[in-house]
A and B are shown apart, each in its own frame.
Chain A
Amino acid sequence: EAQVTQNPRYLITVTGKKLTVTCSQNMNHEYMSWYRQDPGLGLRQIYYSMNVEVTDKGDVPEGYKVSRKEKRNFPLILESPSPNQTSLYFCASTAGWGQVTEAFFGQGTRLTVV
């Protein structure tokens, strides 16, 4: 079954404690991205990756890092989380970009930073 898997689904952490949210896809997709969703602001792209070792900033990259060492995995790293990063996070993958825009989304990670 084609899917995007995120872990964990829920996470409560304290300010400044580094954390990683994992994302894995089994569709051999080239393009992967991370979004955060906040009330009234919709979905905003944090980072994206067009292939292994190719990553770039989305619209709200401050405070986040990503890596793409393997095609299937695209972890999101918060080196020093702050309360304003409390949000619902989604990972997504797409076969390509431009003409190919059907994205498959993970189930989401609800992060609370206290």
Chain B
Amino acid sequence: LAKTTQPISMDSYEGQEVNITCSHNNIATNDYITWYQQFPSQGPRFIIQGYKTKVTNEVASLFIPADRKSSTLSLPRVSLSDTAVYYCLVGDFTSGTYKYIFGTGTRLKVLA
């Protein structure tokens, strides 16, 4: 059973780079790792996904080591509007199931 662990909370200042790590064991061999952002009273919103090494899009980067037991979401130069909860998501495709497991979530607070 895939299980994910994230830091509960982080504080940062505007303009800084923020790195949030998710530990995940036993994810499916061919499964991707996905990260979501959630604001209060809204559904999670897709940020980025990757399989291995490094992926970058217009809002974030994702680093995944060769053993794929963890992943790090990197937000460059955060602003106040990045204050939100960030979740990693992995699949649990063992024993014929096709479940998805969210991480515990990291509450990021960006300070002025």
Which residue numbers of A lie inside 8 Å of B, CB to CB?
A: 4, 31, 33, 35, 42-45, 48, 50, 56, 58-59, 90, 92, 97-99, 101-108
Contacts and interface: CB of A to CB of B under 8 A. Distances in A.
The 5 closest A-B CB pairs, nearest first, are A105-B43, A43-B102, A101-B34, A102-B46, A42-B105
Q: Is the interface of A mostly helix, strand, loop or mixed?
A: strand
B103 A48 contact: no
Interface residues of B, number: 27
A45 B101 contact: yes
Contacts of B87: 42-43
Nearest to A35: B102
Interface of B: 28, 30-32, 34, 36, 41-46, 49, 51, 87, 89, 91, 93, 97-105
A94 to B, nearest CB: 9
B36 to A, nearest CB: 8
Given A98-B31, A101-B32, A103-B46, A42 B97 contact: no
Contacts of B91: 97-98, 101
B57 to A, nearest CB: 12
B108 to A, nearest CB: 15
